[in-house]
Amino acid sequence: MAAIKVHGSPLSTATRRVLACLYEKEIDFQFVPINMATGEHKSDNFLALNPFGQVPAFEDGDLTLFESRASANYVAHEFADKGTQLLISGSNKEVAVLELWKEVEAHQFNTPSSKVVWELFFKPFLGMATDAAVVEENETQLGKVLDVYETRLTQSKYLASDNFTLADLYHLPNIQYLLATPAKKLFESRPHVDAWVKEITARPAWSKVLAMMNQ
Amino acid sequence: MALKLYGAALSPCTSRVMTCLHEKEADFELVPVDLFAGEHKQLPFLAKNPFGQIPALEDGDLSLFESRAIAAYVAEKFKETGNDLIRHQSLKEAAEVKVWMEVESQQYHPAISPIIFQFFAAPLQGYAPDQAIIDENTEKLGKVLDVYEDKLGRTKYLAGDFYSLADLFHLSFTYYFMKTPCAHLINERPHVKAWWEDISSRPAFQKVASAMNFGEKGN
The verdict on a CB contact (< 8 Å) between B69 and A152 is no
pLDDT tens-place string over residues A38-82: 899 999 999 999 999 999 999 999 999 999 999 999 999 999 999
Per-residue pLDDT at A117 exceeds 50: yes
Contacts of B103 in chain A (CB under 8 A): 52, 67
Q: Which long-range contacts (CB under 8 A, 24 or more apart) does A126-135 make?
A: A135/A183
Which residue in the set A63, A93, A151 is minimally distant from B62, CB to CB?
A93
Residues 6 or more apart whose Cβ sits within 8 Å of residue B47? none
pLDDT, average across residues B67-82: 96
CA separation for the pair A201, A184 (Å, rounded):
13
- Look over chain B and give the mean of its residue pLDDT values, rounded to a whole number: 95
Do B18 and B172 meet the contact criterion of CB atoms below 8 Å apart? no
Residues of B in CB contact (< 8 Å) with A are 50-51, 59-62, 64-66, 68-70, 72-73, 76-77, 91-92, 95-96, 98-99, 101-103, 105-107, 110, 144, 147, 150-151
CA-nearest residue to B109 within chain A is: A107
* B217: confidence class by pLDDT, cuts 50, 70, 90: low
- Look over chain A and give the mean of its residue pLDDT values, rounded to a whole number: 96
The pLDDT value recorded for residue A126 is: 83
pLDDT tens-place string over residues A101-113: 999 999 999 999 9
Question: Which residue in B76, B63, B46 sits closest to B5, CA to CA?
Answer: B63
The pLDDT value recorded for residue B89 is: 93
The verdict on a CB contact (< 8 Å) between A69 and B61 is no
The pLDDT value recorded for residue B219 is: 43
Size of interface A-B (CB pairs under 8 A): 80
* B122: confidence class by pLDDT, cuts 50, 70, 90: confident
Question: Which residue in B98, B71, B52, B58 sits closest to B14, CA to CA?
Answer: B71
What pTM does this model have? 0.87
Do A200 and A172 meet the contact criterion of CB atoms below 8 Å apart? yes
Per-residue pLDDT at A214 exceeds 80: no
Per-residue pLDDT at A148 exceeds 70: yes
Per-residue pLDDT at B214 exceeds 90: no
Q: Distance from A112 to chain B by nearest Cα, in Å? A: 13
- Beta partners for residue A30, in sequence order: A5
Give the number of residues written for chain B: 219
Burial class (CB in 10 A: 0-12, 13-18, 19+), B57: buried
pLDDT, average across residues A172-189: 96
Per-residue pLDDT at B1 exceeds 80: no
Per-residue pLDDT at A14 exceeds 60: yes
CA-nearest residue to A97 within chain B is: B64
Per-residue pLDDT at B85 exceeds 80: yes
The verdict on a CB contact (< 8 Å) between A74 and B95 is yes
Q: Distance from A144 to chain B by nearest Cα, in Å? A: 9
The pLDDT value recorded for residue A1 is: 55
Q: Does the interface predicted TM-score (ipTM) exceed 0.85?
A: no
Do A105 and A170 meet the contact criterion of CB atoms below 8 Å apart? yes
Residues of A numbered 39-68 whose beta carbons fall under 8 angstroms of chain B's beta carbons: which are they? Answer: 51-52, 63, 65-67
Helices then strands, each counted (H, E), chain B:
11, 4
pLDDT, average across residues A124-150: 95
Does any CB of chain B come closer than 8 Å to the CB of residue A108?
yes
Do B174 and B143 meet the contact criterion of CB atoms below 8 Å apart? no
pLDDT tens-place string over residues A21-31: 999 999 999 99
Contacts of B86 in chain A (CB under 8 A): none
Residues of A numbered 132-151 whose beta carbons fall under 8 angstroms of chain B's beta carbons: which are they? Answer: 145, 148, 151
CA-nearest residue to B94 within chain A is: A74
